[in-house]
């Protein structure tokens, strides 16, 4: 019996006994009861889809009932200081399909938050534009463009009909914060391990030191994926797959072929770097974890097409992570419409599969991408939280049209997975068997909400909501 089901089955002992006593078996046969799972354990598959570089206000800032852009008489009240011959810039509607955004490394997070004033977005976007090397990149337009940077722009429901439909039909989380105030690599390290660090020795978690600014990024793209330890950085601390593997819980990490969505230093622009399931890197850090190699789990890192095959053949792992390529990531300057099509195709495939009635899909964007957000991030330790990002929960057991106002971060995904499949075991140096010096057991933070509150496990499962991958929008190209 899998560890994560022990609690649920223990709670059912009395029921089992009663059913067995009431059942009559034919001679020579035994009675086997198929007990339906209880509560959270109705979710047998968790899928985390992690898109790229958007703030909550940039996508859902005008969503009814959400903690969106402060308005008065229909106009934003925020006035962000600018250096271009104007007292300030107010958030504005932006229907452009391709955006520039701004820098989003740890120092830039400090600058845009600006001691809680949340007013550094224009300064940072303009400063980053001067460093552009490609004048055709939208991020470079700030150099000679006197207009306001689109880092302060926001999209409307008519721009994002699919995402807003998911919000209306399922759950929108309006206080989801990036787990750390930094860029894509630290965010993805937290997504799979609740920490970002730099280590000096393989298989020695104690050799790791906290680093959410510039953890080691990886090897050149021609690295041999079968021997990443010889070619890349050392990620010696404990990740979630270690506990999943030990408990016999299946997992998959799906990587879209293409180019890497982000720059290795958190900057706005850089040259293209190829990625696929066999190239460890910013969005595919698991091959560098000692635990993944030692457990012979490199084969669980697969191309995205394998996810669709698994859905068709009823072989979907119990826990899955899905990451895009640059072209479909929504990372500026990639078009939003391409990202929407990618995400919608995945969600449609899940909804059309036999796994729909037992699945929870968590969709989020890994960091704020330099875009404006008005909510000051809470502090829980030296690493975060970072700025707010859009987040949705899609499941047949989702509370319909519910807006979750709990304080959340990607740590809540790990917490949900641990509660569902691991009987509440945590990535805790005191209990996970591989002690590392991480500053906090993030899942146990008192401020962190519980994703179970987004579900109604007693309701009739919601039917699929199949959407067009190319809906009509007001986005302009």
Pairing type for strands 391-394 and 251-255 reads unpaired
The 10s digit of each residue's pLDDT in 298-337 is 999 999 999 999 999 999 999 999 999 999 999 999 999 9
Residue range of the domain that includes 190: 43-59+158-454
The H-assigned helical ranges of 77-222 are 106-113, 121-129, 161-169, 184-193
Q: Which of 381, 307, 379, 387 is nearest to 342 (CA)?
A: 307
- Are residues 323 and 399 both part of a single domain? yes
Reply yes or no on whether the pLDDT at 466 is more than 50. Answer: yes
**One domain, residues 105 and 241:** no
Give the pLDDT confidence score for residue 127 in this predicted structure: 82
- Please report, for the domain that includes residue 341, its CATH number: 3.40.720
Q: 424: alpha, beta or left, given left = phi > 0 and alpha = psi -120 to 50? A: left
Pair 383, 352 in one domain:
yes
Q: Tell me which of 126, 154, 182 is where a domain ends.
A: 154
Q: What is the mean pLDDT of the segment spanning 203-223?
A: 80
Average pLDDT over residues 246-255: 98
Residues 257 and 330 in one domain: yes
The answer as to whether 296 is a domain residue is yes
Please determine, for residue 110, whether its predicted confidence score (pLDDT) is greater than 50.
yes
- What 3-state class would DSSP assign to 345? helix
Residues 295 and 418 in one domain: yes
* Same-domain pairing of 14 and 149: no
The dihedral of CA 190, 194, 196, 200: what is its sign?
A: negative
Q: How far, in Å, CA of 278 to CA of 299, rounded?
A: 9
Q: Is the dihedral of CA 363, 368, 374, 380 positive or negative?
A: positive
Domain membership flag for residue 167: yes
What pLDDT shows up at residue 319? 98
Read off the pLDDT of residues 170-183 as tens digits, 9 standing for 90 and up: 999 999 999 999 99
Alpha helices of 304-434 — where are they, by DSSP H?
304-312, 336-352, 411-421
* Domain-embedded: residue 463: no
User: Are residues 52 and 80 both part of a single domain?
Assistant: no
Same-domain pairing of 182 and 225: yes
Report which secondary-structure segment, H or E, holds 51: strand 45-51
**Cα separation of 302 and 311, whole Å?**
14
Last residue of a domain, one of 102, 127, 154: 154
Would 466 be classed as within a structural domain?
no
DSSP characters for 191-238?
A: HHHS--EEESSTT-GGGEEE-SSS------TT--TT-GGGTS--B-S-
- Look at residues 139, 120, 123 and name the one whose alpha carbon lies nearest to residue 131: 139
How much is the mean pLDDT over the chain? 88
- Report which of 415, 376, 475, 370 is spatially closest to residue 97, judged by C-alpha positions: 475
Q: Specify whether the CB–CB gap between 389 and 365 falls below 8 A.
A: yes
Pair 386, 340 in one domain = yes
pLDDT in tens, 54-92: 999 999 999 999 999 999 999 999 999 997 767 899 999
């Amino acid at each position: 019996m899998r560890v994560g089901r022990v609690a649920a089955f223990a709670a059912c002992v009395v029921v089992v006994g009663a059913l067995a006593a009431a059942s009559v078996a034919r001679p020579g046969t035994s009675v086997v009861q198929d007990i339906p799972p209880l509560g959270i354990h109705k979710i047998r598959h968790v899928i985390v889809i992690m898109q790229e570089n958007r703030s909550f206000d940039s996508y859902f800032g005008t969503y009814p009932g959400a903690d969106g852009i402060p308005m008065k008489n229909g106009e934003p009240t925020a006035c962000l200081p600018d250096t271009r011959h104007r007292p300030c810039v107010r958030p504005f509607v932006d229907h452009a399909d391709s955006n520039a955004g701004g820098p989003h490394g740890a120092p830039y997070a400090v600058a845009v938050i600006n001691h809680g004033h949340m007013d550094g977005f224009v300064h940072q976007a303009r400063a980053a534009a001067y460093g552009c090397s490609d004048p055709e990149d939208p991020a470079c337009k700030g150099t000679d463009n006197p207009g306001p940077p689109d880092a302060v722009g926001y999209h409307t429901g008519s721009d994002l009909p699919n995402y807003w439909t998911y919000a209306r039909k399922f759950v929108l989380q309006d206080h989801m914060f990036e787990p750390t105030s930094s860029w894509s690599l630290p965010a993805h390290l937290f997504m799979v391990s609740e920490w970002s660090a730099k280590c000096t020795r393989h298989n020695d978690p104690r050799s790791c030191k906290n680093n959410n600014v510039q953890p080691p990024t990886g090897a050149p793209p021609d690295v041999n994926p079968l021997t990443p330890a010889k070619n890349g950085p050392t990620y010696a601390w404990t990740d979630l797959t270690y506990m999943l593997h030990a408990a016999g819980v299946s997992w998959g990490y799906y990587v879209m072929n293409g180019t890497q969505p982000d720059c290795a230093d958190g900057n706005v622009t850089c040259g293209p770097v190829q990625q696929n399931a066999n190239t460890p890197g910013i969005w595919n850090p698991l091959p560098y974890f000692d635990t993944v190699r030692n457990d012979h789990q490199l084969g669980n890192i697969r191309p995205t097409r394998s996810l669709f095959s698994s859905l068709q053949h009823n072989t979907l792992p119990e826990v899955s992570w899905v990451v895009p390529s640059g072209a479909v990531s929504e990372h500026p300057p990639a078009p939003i419409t391409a990202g929407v099509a990618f995400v919608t195709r995945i969600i449609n495939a899940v909804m059309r599969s036999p796994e729909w009635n037992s699945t929870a899909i968590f969709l989020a964007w890994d960091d704020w991408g330099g875009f404006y957000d008005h909510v000051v991030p809470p502090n829980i330790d030296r690493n975060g939280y970072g700025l707010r990002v859009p987040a949705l929960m899609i499941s047949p057991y989702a509370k319909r049209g519910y807006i979750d106002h709990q304080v959340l971060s990607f740590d809540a995904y790990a917490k949900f997975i641990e509660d569902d499949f691991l009987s509440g075991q945590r990535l805790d140096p005191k209990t996970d068997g591989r002690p590392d010096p991480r500053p906090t057991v993030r899942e146990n933070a008192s401020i962190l909400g519980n994703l179970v509150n987004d579900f109604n496990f007693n309701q009739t499962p919601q039917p699929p909501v199949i959407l067009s991958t190319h809906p009509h929008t007001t986005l302009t190209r």
